């Protein structure tokens, strides 16, 4: 089998995404009809986490188990990535024991080193630059609701320079979905990632727009999406960020500007009263928990796509 990693959105094609979505649908179907489906039987998957996680860790552990495989979680303290042991050594040792590695790292460079030295597939469970599993599950969720991904406009409100924003920009470009980002100028997306996304968008017809005001992005949006103002690792900036982002919030006024029946999405964890109001996240258009559930389903599709 040709090894393939999923560590950023840039290395994924639309054809791969559709294959993962088809696998996801068929795995859901098999589970509903109680079919015995254990393609990972006899295989182990290492989960190396440098940062905390609820969704990513649990959905991978549960998903690997449901597919008949064995998940092995290594906490930040245990693995000491690059501290207790060099990343190339960790990658090569784990490749001798396991059939895939799921990793959550601070620096994306570390993720790339891990993938370079591992001889088994490496799946990103988030780095400072990308969160591909999140965005694949998000696009799958939107597809299920809208029946299509083209002619859908997603408005992302908040930190345009974080992992979720970057992955959404590239993911939407790949899939031909339109994306409008509302972010303060100093938190604009990384220029090189944006350029790559714009190149892809030229071929797929996706429209990418960057605005400074949430209302500009929300106008004509079919999906309103937000993420925390302060990502993991940026805790020291939290107070400043609360000031800078105070108007970058999904609330009822913003929902009024968006298209009727606009979906409300958030990767979670959410800070109610900051990037999203309680009313918005608990409102009738919110699909945040379905979005979270789909992490489990889509990641099983990813595991089968890469490992079987």
Q: Is 104 noted as a catalytic residue in this protein?
A: yes
Please give the torsion angle defined by the CA atoms of residues 125, 126, 127 and 129, in that order, rounded to the nearest 10 degrees: 140
Q: Is 172 noted as a catalytic residue in this protein?
A: no
Size of the site for ligand NVA (CB under 6 A): 9
Minimum distance, C-beta of residue 165 to ligand NVA, in the bound complex (Å)? 8
Residue 231 interacts with, from ligand CP, ligand NVA, none (CB under 5-8 Å by kind): ligand NVA
Catalytic residue among 57, 108, 131, 297: 131
Residues in the chain, overall count: 308
Beta carbons within 8 Å of 285's beta carbon, 6+ residues apart: 255, 261, 262, 263, 264
If one asks whether residue 54 binds ligand CP (CB under 6 A), the answer comes out as: yes
Beta carbons within 8 Å of 152's beta carbon, 6+ residues apart: 142, 146, 177, 178, 222, 223
If one asks whether residue 56 binds ligand CP (CB under 6 A), the answer comes out as: yes
**Residue 285 to residues 21, 57, 119, 146, 274: CA-CA distances in angstroms?**
23, 27, 43, 13, 19
Q: Which of 115, 164, 197, 270 forms a contact with ligand NVA (CB under 6 A)?
A: 164
Q: Is 299 noted as a catalytic residue in this protein?
A: no
Which one, 56 or 99, has the nearer CB to ligand NVA? 56
Q: Is 272 noted as a catalytic residue in this protein?
A: no
If one asks whether residue 157 binds ligand NVA (CB under 6 A), the answer comes out as: no
191-250 binders of ligand NVA (CB under 6 A): 227-228, 231-232
DSSP SS3 for 130: coil
Contact 208, 179 (CB under 8 A): yes
Minimum distance, C-beta of residue 140 to ligand NVA, in the bound complex (Å)? 17
50 is known to lie in a ligand binding site: no
Angle at which helix 163-175 crosses helix 191-204, to 10 degrees, equals 20
- Give CA 30 to chain center in angstroms: 25
If one asks whether residue 62 binds ligand CP (CB under 6 A), the answer comes out as: no
Minimum distance, C-beta of residue 291 to ligand NVA, in the bound complex (Å)? 12
If one asks whether residue 267 binds ligand CP (CB under 6 A), the answer comes out as: yes
Q: Is 134 noted as a catalytic residue in this protein?
A: yes
Kindly report the CA angle at 45 between 140 and 11, in degrees rounded to 5?
A: 45
Q: Half-sphere exposure of 93 toward its Cβ, with a 13 Å CA cutoff?
A: 9
**Residue 119 to residues 1, 31, 96, 255: CA-CA distances in angstroms?**
11, 30, 8, 47
204 is known to lie in a ligand binding site: no
28 closest CA partner among 266, 267, 293: 293
Catalytic residue among 57, 227, 291, 299: 227
Tell me the window of 54-62, 81-89, 109-117, 247-255 that interacts with ligand CP (CB under 6 A). Answer: 54-62
End-to-end CA distance of the chain: 8
Catalytic residue among 57, 104, 241, 297: 104
Catalytic residue among 5, 57, 249, 267: 267
* Residue recorded with tokens 């690059």: 82
If one asks whether residue 166 binds ligand CP (CB under 6 A), the answer comes out as: no
Which one, 40 or 123, has the nearer CB to ligand NVA? 123
299 is known to lie in a ligand binding site: no
DSSP SS3 for 280: helix
Query: What is the binding site for ligand CP (CB under 6 A)?
Result: 53-56, 126, 134, 267-269
Residues with active-site annotation: 104, 131, 134, 227, 267, 295
Which residues make up each annotated binding site for L-ornithine?
Answer: 163, 227, 231-232
Query: What is the binding site for ligand NVA (CB under 6 A)?
Result: 126, 162-164, 227-228, 231-232, 267
């Amino acid at each position: 089998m040709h090894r393939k990693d999923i560590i950023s959105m840039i290395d994924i094609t639309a054809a791969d995404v559709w294959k993962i979505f088809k696998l996801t649908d068929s795995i859901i179907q098999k589970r509903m009809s109680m079919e015995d489906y254990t393609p990972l039987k006899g295989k182990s998957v290492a989960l190396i986490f440098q940062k905390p996680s609820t969704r990513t860790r649990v959905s991978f552990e549960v998903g690997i188990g449901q597919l008949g495989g064995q998940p092995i979680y290594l906490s930040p303290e245990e693995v000491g990535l690059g501290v207790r042991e060099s990343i190339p050594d960790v990658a090569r040792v784990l490749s001798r024991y396991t059939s895939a590695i799921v990793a959550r790292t601070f620096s994306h460079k570390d993720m790339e080193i891990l993938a370079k030295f591992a001889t088994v597939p490496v799946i990103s469970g988030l780095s400072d630059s990308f969160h591909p599993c999140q965005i694949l599950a998000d696009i799958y969720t939107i597809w299920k609701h809208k029946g299509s991904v083209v002619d859908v406009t997603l408005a992302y409100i908040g930190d345009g320079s974080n992992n979720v924003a970057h992955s959404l920009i590239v993911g939407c470009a790949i899939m031909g979905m339109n994306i409008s980002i509302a972010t303060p100028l100093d938190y604009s997306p990384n220029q090189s990632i944006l350029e790559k996304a714009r190149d892809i968008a030229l071929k797929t017809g996706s429209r990418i727009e960057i605005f400074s005001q949430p209302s500009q992005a929300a106008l004509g949006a079919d999906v309103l999406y937000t993420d925390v103002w302060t990502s993991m690792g940026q805790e020291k900036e939290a107070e400043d960020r609360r000031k800078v982002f105070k108007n970058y919030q999904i609330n009822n006024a913003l929902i009024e500007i968006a298209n009727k029946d606009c979906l409300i999405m958030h990767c979670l964890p959410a800070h109610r009263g900051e990037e999203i109001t309680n009313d918005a996240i608990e409102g009738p258009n919110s699909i945040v928990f379905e979005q979270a559930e789909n992490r489990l389903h889509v990641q099983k599709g990813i595991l089968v796509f890469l490992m079987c």
